[in-house]
Structure 1
Amino acid sequence: MAAPSAARSLLLCVMVTAFLHHLQLQIPPVATAAAASPNKTDGRDDGRGKTFSLTLYQHETINKTAYMVVDGVTGAGVSQTTTPFGTIYVFRDDLTVSADRASRVAGVAEGSSITTSLDGLQSLSLAKITLHGHRGHRGSVSVLGGTYNTKPSDYPVVGGTGDFAYALGYVRSSPLDLRGRTVTYKMELHLYWPPYAHYAPVPHKPV
């Protein structure tokens, strides 16, 4: 009786091993995908899981899409690039796909700023940037940081909704044209999701 019992045990062991090997072949390579390079920017990855970069253009028209709601108290006067210390400014500006104001609108930037320097060139700004289906993405990111009116400014991302929920990173706003009643800014979004967020580079301070 011992020999048949040993044969049955050996046969059962072989069947279990074959089944486990077959099961292993059916498991998708999740671990391999997770180990992929975290520095790759993949705008086609449905906005989640890796990184996302996008450039849009903000167009702001005084007393049409942007208003001073509280006058400042001292310092520089009102000009194309300056406002008195303490000025509160609100805006709701279109974001287009190119620097041409007539190009397609992809979203909106809305927020406010408070002038925080006596030379009138710096302020504390908060804003929400919303995309309306541009490149298949819907949602918003919120930013908070300092603005230098005539130089590029970097704003940390402090929250997101929709496709941008849980995103971290920064938004860089650079003035392109400060002449005339309407001014134009280049807005670059650099977003990172867990577990890749800790690979996000520290933005270089604009010169």
Structure 2
Amino acid sequence: MAASSSFVLAAAALLLLAVTAAAEAAGQQKETWMHVYWHDVVTGPNSMVAKVAEAPTSRASATVFGTVYVIDDPLTDGPSLTAPSRLVGHVQGMYVSAGKETMSLLMAMSFVFAADEPYNGSSVAIFGPNPARPVREIPVVGGTGAFRFARGYCRTTTYWYNAAGDATVPYDIHIRHD
């Protein structure tokens, strides 16, 4: 019985050490907040969006359910594609019209920062649902470079949108990372 009690006590002590070490490591992470603008350029000669797949029923669907787009869109520090806004990187990835009943996109994107910017070629990976609401929240699931081991969230709204599908979307990105 004494050996069993000693084992339980030793296991509890090891568990406490592991929890303490994990909590200490979490406390060493940095927090970064940034505000950037994604320009989804769907139309015109400078379009950065390619429709790569659609379901047989997509065109008949009010939500274009089943349509897949690949993107390499500009990312700026302001709402304009030209001065005074500066290009700080690109948004690369894809989004899928995933809502059958209501408009909702599934976003799988990397915000890739330019090598001459403060984040020097680093990226932030965003993956999750983007429902048609005034304010949306999308998870940050990873990152590279300065944002290694990133986790967090983005809050976004629509700044500008036209009937053709072009949009300017501000992203408030809140990240914890190494």
Q: Answer whether TM exceeds 0.5 for this pair.
A: yes
Instruction: Give the conservation status (yes or no) of the 8 Å contact 1:77–1:120.
Output: no
Instruction: Give the conservation status (yes or no) of the 8 Å contact 1:66–1:89.
Output: yes
> Post-superposition, which runs of at least 4 consecutive aligned residues in structure 1 deviate over 4 A?
75-78
User: Which one has the largest radius of gyration?
Assistant: 1
Which letter maps to 1:162?
Answer: G
Which moved further from structure 2: 171-180 or 97-106? 171-180
How far apart, CA to CA, are the structure 2 residues paired with 1:83 and 1:67? 18
What is the CA-CA distance between 1:76 and the residue it aligns to? 6.9
* Alignment gaps of 5+ in structure 1: 1-34, 39-47, 195-207
Which letter maps to 1:74?
Answer: T
Instruction: Give the conservation status (yes or no) of the 8 Å contact 1:73–1:85.
Output: no
Please give the residue correspondences for 1:1-207 in structure 2 after superposition, counting only pairs within 5 Å. 49-63=29-43, 64-74=47-57, 77=60, 83-102=63-82, 103-119=85-101, 121-133=103-115, 136-138=118-120, 139-179=122-162, 181=164, 182-193=166-177
Superposed CA RMSD in Å reads 2.6
Instruction: Give the conservation status (yes or no) of the 8 Å contact 1:58–1:184.
Output: yes
Percent identity between matched residues is 25
| 3-state SS of 1:175 partner | coil
Q: Rate the CA distance shift 1:133–1:183 in 2: closer, same or farther, 3 A.
A: same
Aligned residues: 146
How far apart, CA to CA, are the structure 2 residues paired with 1:134 and 1:58? 18
Which letter maps to 2:174?
Answer: H
TM-score by length of 2: 0.71
* Alignment gaps of 5+ in structure 2: 1-23
Q: Rate the CA distance shift 1:91–1:151 in 2: closer, same or farther, 3 A.
A: farther
Q: Rate the CA distance shift 1:189–1:60 in 2: closer, same or farther, 3 A.
A: same
Which letter maps to 1:191?
Answer: I
TM-score by length of 1: 0.62
Which letter maps to 1:54?
Answer: M
Q: Rate the CA distance shift 1:121–1:150 in 2: closer, same or farther, 3 A.
A: same
Which letter maps to 1:156?
Answer: P
What is the CA-CA distance between 1:50 and the residue it aligns to? 2.2
